[in-house]
DNA sequence: GACGCCGATGGGAGCGCTCCCACACTGTGG
DNA sequence: CCACAGTGTGGGAGCGCTCCCATCGGCGTC
């Protein structure tokens, strides 16, 4: 912080070299912690670095080394609203935690409409980041292919299908859903309904599969009329619940594939005079703020979002380094039992 | 996307120049949309750019021009949890919206513990960003001074005191709080209590001032025993509410300086057998997810967070450009009336 | 005692851009 | 007809680093 500057600017590698009485190459080696530098020289250089308060110039480094030491996190704007809550900040926190150990910076990119999407493509072709973190990509999204073409490493969360081509990090949607349903059955519920997410989203499909498997494993036949499609929105949840109550008035439990839909379902159940959990038990998915503050507090399946962020970043860094990285990581979920079930 | 590359890499300025049959300087001028280039030459160059799919190399540009075209958004990690909800993503969305028009990238920085803080200082001294967006800075934080010393433009949201030295963008905490209290009085409430935030946070102080002013303006004396200190946490809200009920059992309304504290207060009111809003009306601040999903839904003061983000970015860009920028922007809040009052 | 080898080091050659000075050229006024 | 602005334009000189090759001792070897 003391104003060292001989000529105004921050010190350069060259100046450190002069100060330490060595060559540029040597200082560079020390800075990059690499290869063969004698114990003594290293000490001298480090002293000079400290004295001058030298900090390498990122742009120069990027230019010379042809890497940016930056990765991008692409946020699909439109959805952002939905999973805004803890999701967004938790992912960022996780990613940040992994990156904190390194010298890699996190660039945030909002890719909403067609237009932003195009800009993003431009942006990425500019080779402005070493890698990309993708979150919740839709089936038809061209971005993954573009990245592959450009040879930019990428990691995805929320795989697009069972055979995702990109390395991906997901939570165990199937097991989480199955656990929730098992929990309901375990509490003596007989007619367990489910409100699904949009089934073209792979994760939503998995949750439905989990529902089916849990039922099957318990020897219950699956009643298709107990399955209602939702779309991850509150309104969608209400609609689905209404439908279910009409078709199967005797249901005594509902597993909603998201907390927000559960919130919608709750309103509808109230309106129909059903008490939660006495008449109908309700379980959600995500363990979001909504779940904790619902009345009654909602039992929900928690995803380790922050850890997913950490893992995504780790896998991407490995990928960038060229090392062998996991192609798919699935992290366990956890059922958080509250008063709604 | 077609593999132009003569030698593999992406095309450079030089190559565009050759293709267009002009000099490097001219292409640079066209790219930067600047100064005097003849109509004809511009067209030729633009054609060459399009044909080659040229995208400028950000690192080279940064090195040569000594600017990075990047700004940092510093997130104070520890608090992140609290105002995680919409706040974080809304700010980012706003900032992103402003930045979308430009070629500036958003770098996210988590500055939590002492250690990260130090890293951040290092980072910023590396001149790695053109400007910094600060959110919710504590009174004793050294960061603003560091930035001033380094001559890095910064904009703050959540000013530290009435005479903030940095340009800042805030919502009108005082008016928002006053409006909430006026609303309660307007509904015939007589004994309006308040749960404050930590008073060393300027915004929290403003909300308390707003409470006082509204009372005063309505000709009510301020009863100091109706004021209980909180800390923006749910537990703090509970504690404060307990205190209030003990001291002033006859209170019939509570203005909490945050939704989360209101959530805590609600639990305590329930436990004490008070009905909301029949016995006690409750109003929060932030209009977070919690407010919408509380039972009953919470009346709350909404801050235009996304717009704050947009404005912060705009002011910072002006600052960076060297133009005259607003020193302080205060955006209006809005009372969202729901069933709790 | 000359040779070869290896770890440690110095420094040239860029990386792709911006900046800016110098150099046409075209007009205009004296 | 020449001097003199005023436009456009070309291209040299870096920006601060990394890469890599040449160099230099010191030491074991035949």
Q: What is the per-residue pLDDT for B237?
A: 96
Q: Which of A18-22, A139-143, B38-42, B240-244 has the lowest mean pLDDT?
A: A139-143
Q: Which two tokens stand for residue B159?
A: 């000013």
| Whether B38 CB is under 7 Å from strand D | yes
* Interchain contact A71–B (C-beta under 8 A): no
Q: Would you call A258 exposed, middle or buried from its count of C-beta atoms within 10 A (0-12, 13-18, 19+)? A: buried
> pLDDT by residue (tens digit) across B104-119?
999 999 887 777 777 7
* 3-state SS, residue A283: strand
Read off the pLDDT of each residue in A312-340 and give the average, rounded to a whole number.
93
Strand partners, B255: B194, B283
Q: Would you call A92 exposed, middle or buried from its count of C-beta atoms within 10 A (0-12, 13-18, 19+)? A: buried
Instruction: Please give the residue of chain B at the shortest CA–CA distance from A80.
Output: B89
Chain A residues with CB-CB distance to B93 below 8 A: 77, 80, 110
Chain B residues with CB-CB distance to A62 below 8 A: 58-59, 62
Q: Which of residues 164-183 of A touch strand D (CB under 7 A)?
A: none
- pLDDT of A316 > 50? The answer is yes
CB atoms B127 and A293 under 8 Å: no
Q: What is the per-residue pLDDT for A7?
A: 43
- Of all nucleotides in the shown strands, which has a C1' nearest the CA of A65? D18
Q: Per-residue confidence at B3, pLDDT binned at 50, 70, 90? A: very low
> Alpha-carbon distance B255 to B283, whole Å?
5
Q: What is the per-residue pLDDT for B149?
A: 83
> pLDDT by residue (tens digit) across A118-175?
778 878 877 789 999 998 887 778 888 888 888 899 999 988 888 888 999 999 999 9
Instruction: Give just the sign of the alpha carbon dihedral B252, B258, B259, B261.
Output: negative
| Whether B58 CB is under 7 Å from strand D | no
Tell me the pTM: 0.89
Neighbours of B319 (CB within 10 A): 20
User: What's chain B's average pLDDT?
Assistant: 89
Between residues 111 and 150 of chain A, which touch chain B (CB distance below 8 Å)? 116, 119, 122, 125-128, 146, 149
> pLDDT by residue (tens digit) across A245-277?
999 999 999 999 999 899 999 999 999 999 999
Distances (CA, A) of B326 to B102, B142, B144, B278, B317: 20, 23, 18, 45, 11
Q: Per-residue confidence at B8, pLDDT binned at 50, 70, 90? A: low
> pLDDT by residue (tens digit) across B265-319?
999 999 999 999 999 999 999 998 788 888 899 999 999 999 999 999 999 999 9
> Alpha-carbon distance B131 to B154, whole Å?
6
> pLDDT by residue (tens digit) across B184-199?
999 999 999 999 999 9
- pLDDT of A6 > 50? The answer is no
Q: Which of residues 34-63 of A touch strand C (CB under 7 A)?
A: 35-38, 40-41, 60, 63
Chain A residues with CB-CB distance to B80 below 8 A: 89, 93
| Whether A25 CB is under 7 Å from strand C | yes
Q: Per-residue confidence at B221, pLDDT binned at 50, 70, 90? A: very high
Q: Which of A12-16, A86-90, A233-237, B21-25 has the lowest mean pLDDT?
A: A86-90
Q: What is the per-residue pLDDT for B7?
A: 43
Q: Per-residue confidence at A77, pLDDT binned at 50, 70, 90? A: low
Q: What is the dihedral of CA B146, B150, B153, B155, to 10 degrees?
A: 0
* Interchain contact A88–B (C-beta under 8 A): yes
Strand partners, A250: none
Q: Which residue has the higher pLDDT, A154 or A2?
A: A154
Q: Per-residue confidence at A4, pLDDT binned at 50, 70, 90? A: very low
Strand partners, A73: A108, A133
Q: Which domains does chain B have, with CATH numbers?
A: 13-56 (1.10.260.40), 70-171+306-330 (3.40.50.2300), 173-302 (3.40.50.2300)
> pLDDT by residue (tens digit) across B249-264?
999 999 999 998 999 9
Read off the pLDDT of each residue in A229-246 and give the average, rounded to a whole number.
95
Between residues 152 and 211 of chain B, which touch chain A (CB distance below 8 Å)? none
- pLDDT of B83 > 90? The answer is no
Q: Which of residues 158-187 of B touch strand C (CB under 7 A)?
A: none
How far does the CA of A59 sit from the C1' of D2, in Å? 51
Q: What is the per-residue pLDDT for B1?
A: 39
- Of all nucleotides in the shown strands, which has a C1' nearest the CA of B13? C16
Q: What is the per-residue pLDDT for B85?
A: 61
């Amino acid at each position: 912080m003391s104003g060292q500057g001989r000529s105004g600017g921050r010190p350069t590698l060259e100046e450190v070299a002069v100060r330490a009485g060595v060559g540029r190459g040597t200082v560079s080696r020390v800075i990059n912690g690499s290869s063969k530098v004698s114990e003594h020289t290293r000490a001298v250089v480090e002293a000079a670095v400290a004295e001058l308060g030298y900090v390498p110039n990122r742009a120069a480094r990027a230019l010379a080394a042809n890497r940016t030491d930056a990765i991008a996190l692409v946020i699909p704007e439109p959805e952002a609203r939905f999973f805004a809550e803890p999701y967004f900040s938790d992912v960022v926190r996780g990613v940040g935690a992994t990156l904190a150990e390194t010298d890699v910076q996190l660039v945030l990119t909002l890719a909403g409409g067609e237009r932003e999407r195009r800009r993003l493509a431009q942006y990425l072709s500019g080779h402005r980041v070493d890698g990309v973190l993708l979150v919740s990509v839709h089936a038809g999204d061209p971005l993954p292919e573009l990245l592959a073409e450009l040879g930019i490493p990428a990691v995805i969360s929320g795989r697009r299908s069972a055979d995702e081509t990109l390395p991906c990090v997901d939570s165990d949607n199937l097991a989480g859903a199955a656990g929730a349903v098992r929990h309901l059955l375990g509490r003596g519920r007989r007619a367990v309904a489910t409100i699904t997410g949009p089934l073209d989203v792979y994760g939503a499909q998995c949750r439905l599969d989990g529902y089916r498997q849990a039922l099957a494993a318990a020897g219950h036949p699956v009643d298709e009329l107990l399955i209602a499609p939702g779309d991850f929105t509150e309104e969608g949840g209400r609609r689905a619940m209404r439908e279910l109550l009409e078709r199967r008035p005797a249901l005594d439990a509902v597993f909603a594939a998201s907390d927000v839909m559960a919130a919608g379902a709750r309103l509808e159940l109230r309106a129909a005079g059903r008490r939660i959990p006495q008449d109908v038990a309700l379980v959600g998915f995500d363990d979001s703020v909504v779940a904790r503050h619902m009345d009654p507090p909602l039992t929900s399946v928690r995803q380790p979002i922050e850890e997913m962020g950490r893992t995504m970043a780790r896998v991407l860094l490995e990928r960038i380094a060229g090392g062998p990285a996991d192609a798919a990581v699935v992290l366990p979920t956890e059922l958080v039992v509250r008063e709604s079930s």
